């Protein structure tokens, strides 16, 4: 198995929008490759996608041909090799030799590939004034939406944060464990208390965390701080009936049942039947009980669910712009039309869930989006169009109309949480 062939296969899958890069890299069949080769493939793919527009710009400066007229395989070979030359520690001559050999095996452009890459090795861009679209590899439509939502200063901080490595956050499962910090520290892990969540920790040396018995036995889950906050805002209580309408992978449902000590009944729904298995897996691992599973399209009203629930969590499908540092292809491909379509889906789900909620019940609406179209504008829609009243949320000792977490904040990615009560 040739690692550079595999890199091209994976980047082609991402280009074809076959799934998020984080999932593709995790589930890809690497055959008999050793851990070092797999790590190299993952790093090269991620770095290329993260810097795609910048890399294409460099190639265009070194090529006599327009990129949109190149054979797709040739372009992917050039992208991969340029990534290695600019960002990896592999010797330039080795990169060029490997790319030329690959071009000879897969195409008729080995001489062209050789010429372009030798120019890439010599290029100096230090004095070039690159615009944000190229410098941060973000498409014009998404950049325009961010500029609409935030000040120039905040947009710049966001663009830089898309290249940050997220803090590795774990959430103790109190259904099974009360001494997680001590137990993991005794095994050599360095844990720091999460800045705004109880029972959550930032692991400074997360390598091998998933190999611990504590993880295998469901004594903690790997969960971004923004996610576990949803359950706290929902305020589930014992003997209540709860709906997690878009539940996969199930970690928020586990948080909810942990708060009620398994004394509420929670319905976990997802449109994707395959994801129900993932939810069940997490639920069973975490010792969560009193769970019902459903598999329906949340945009279609279910008459039998009307006025059934005391609490509803709507963690809606969204643009995922708050997790770009995990899935950098989002900043390449996400368009205004995508967001407009998602807003329609979000509002239809909210309209249905308002009907499922009992009078006096609480609904929490959340997204991992940074865009006002999916967040603040949907809060206005809920307040003005639905029979739901917004409630302030206590956070950091203050009353907040909603919680907006930014990916440049410690211990979190981009996330939005709002809370409503049915009149």
Residue 265 · residue 292 · CB < 8 Å: yes
251 is in an annotated binding site: yes
248 is in an annotated binding site: yes
What local confidence, expressed as pLDDT, does residue 312 receive? 98
Place of tokens 């009193």: 290
250 is in an annotated binding site: yes
Please report the sign of the dihedral spanned by the C-alpha atoms of residue 47, residue 48, residue 53, residue 59: positive
Place of tokens 């615009």: 131
End-to-end CA distance of the chain: 62
Per-residue pLDDT band at 159 (split at 50, 70, 90) = very high
**pLDDT for 187-196, tens place per residue?**
999 999 998 8
407 is in an annotated binding site: no
Bridge partners, residue 312, by sequence: 243, 363
249 is in an annotated binding site: yes
The residues annotated as belonging to the active site are 368
**Total-model pTM:** 0.93
What local confidence, expressed as pLDDT, does residue 318 receive? 97
What local confidence, expressed as pLDDT, does residue 142 receive? 98
Per-residue pLDDT band at 299 (split at 50, 70, 90) = very high
**pLDDT for 23-53, tens place per residue?**
888 889 998 899 999 999 999 999 999 999 9
270 is in an annotated binding site: yes
Closest by CA to 61, choosing from 122, 132, 109, is 122
- How crowded is residue 259: how many other Cβ atoms within 10 Å of its Cβ? 18
Bridge partners, residue 294, by sequence: 269
What local confidence, expressed as pLDDT, does residue 19 receive? 76
What local confidence, expressed as pLDDT, does residue 309 receive? 98
**pLDDT for 90-138, tens place per residue?**
999 999 999 999 999 988 899 999 999 999 999 987 756 789 999 999 9
Residue 49 · residue 329 · CB < 8 Å: yes
What local confidence, expressed as pLDDT, does residue 128 receive? 66
pLDDT at 225 over 80: no
Q: Where are the alpha helices (DSSP H) in 235-361?
A: 251-259, 273-285, 329-333, 336-356
What local confidence, expressed as pLDDT, does residue 1 receive? 56
What local confidence, expressed as pLDDT, does residue 357 receive? 98
Percent of the chain at pLDDT exceeding 70: 99
What local confidence, expressed as pLDDT, does residue 262 receive? 97
**pLDDT for 385-419, tens place per residue?**
999 999 999 987 889 999 999 999 888 899 999 99
| CA–CA gap between residue 97 and residue 105 (Å, rounded) | 12
**pLDDT for 301-358, tens place per residue?**
999 999 999 999 999 999 999 999 999 999 999 999 999 999 999 999 999 999 999 9
| CA–CA gap between residue 225 and residue 413 (Å, rounded) | 8
Closest by CA to 134, choosing from 46, 40, 61, is 61
What local confidence, expressed as pLDDT, does residue 127 receive? 57
- The rounded mean pLDDT for the chain is 94
The two tokens of residue 383 are 């307040």
Place of tokens 């690159």: 130
* Residue 129 phi, psi (nearest 5): -95, 95
């Amino acid at each position: 198995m040739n690692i550079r062939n595999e890199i091209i296969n994976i980047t082609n899958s991402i280009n074809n929008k076959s799934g998020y890069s984080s999932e593709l890299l995790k589930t890809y069949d690497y055959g008999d490759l050793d851990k070092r080769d797999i790590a190299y493939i993952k790093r090269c793919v991620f770095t290329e996608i993260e810097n795609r527009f910048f890399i294409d710009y460099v190639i265009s400066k070194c090529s006599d041909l327009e990129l949109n007229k190149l054979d797709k395989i040739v372009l992917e070979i050039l992208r991969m090799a340029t990534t290695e030359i600019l960002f990896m520690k592999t010797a330039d001559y080795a990169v060029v030799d490997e790319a030329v050999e690959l071009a000879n095996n897969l195409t008729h452009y080995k001489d062209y590939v050789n010429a372009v890459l030798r120019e890439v090795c010599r290029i100096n861009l230090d004095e070039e004034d690159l615009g944000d679209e190229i410098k941060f590899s973000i498409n014009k439509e998404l950049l325009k939406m961010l500029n609409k939502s935030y000040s120039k200063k905040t947009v710049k901080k966001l663009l830089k944060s898309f290249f940050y490595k997220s803090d590795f956050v774990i959430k103790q499962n109190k259904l099974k464990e009360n001494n997680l910090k001590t137990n993991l520290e005794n095994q050599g892990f360095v844990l720091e208390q999460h800045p705004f969540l109880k029972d959550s920790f930032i692991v400074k040396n997360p390598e091998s965390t998933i190999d611990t018995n504590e993880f295998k036995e469901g004594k903690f889950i790997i969960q971004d701080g923004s996610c576990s906050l949803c359950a706290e805002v929902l305020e589930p209580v014992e003997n209540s009936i709860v709906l997690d309408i878009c539940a996969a992978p199930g970690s928020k449902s586990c948080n909810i049942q942990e708060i009620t000590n398994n004394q509420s009944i929670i319905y976990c729904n997802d449109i994707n039947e395959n994801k129900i298995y993932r939810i069940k897996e997490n639920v069973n691992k975490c010792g969560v009980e009193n769970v019902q599973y459903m598999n329906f399209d949340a945009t279609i009203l279910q008459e039998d669910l009307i006025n059934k629930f005391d609490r509803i969590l709507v963690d809606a499908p969204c643009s995922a712009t708050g997790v770009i540092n995990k899935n950098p292809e989002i900043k390449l491909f996400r368009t205004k039309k995508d967001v407009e379509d998602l807003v329609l889906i979000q509002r239809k789900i909210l309209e249905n869930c308002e009907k499922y909620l009992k009078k006096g019940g609480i609904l929490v609406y959340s997204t991992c989006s940074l865009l006002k179209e999916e967040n603040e504008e949907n809060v206005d829609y809920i307040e003005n169009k639905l029979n739901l009243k917004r409630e302030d949320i206590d956070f950091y000792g203050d009353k907040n109309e909603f919680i907006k977490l930014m990916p440049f904040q410690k211990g979190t990615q981009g996330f939005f949480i709002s809370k409503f009560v049915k009149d």
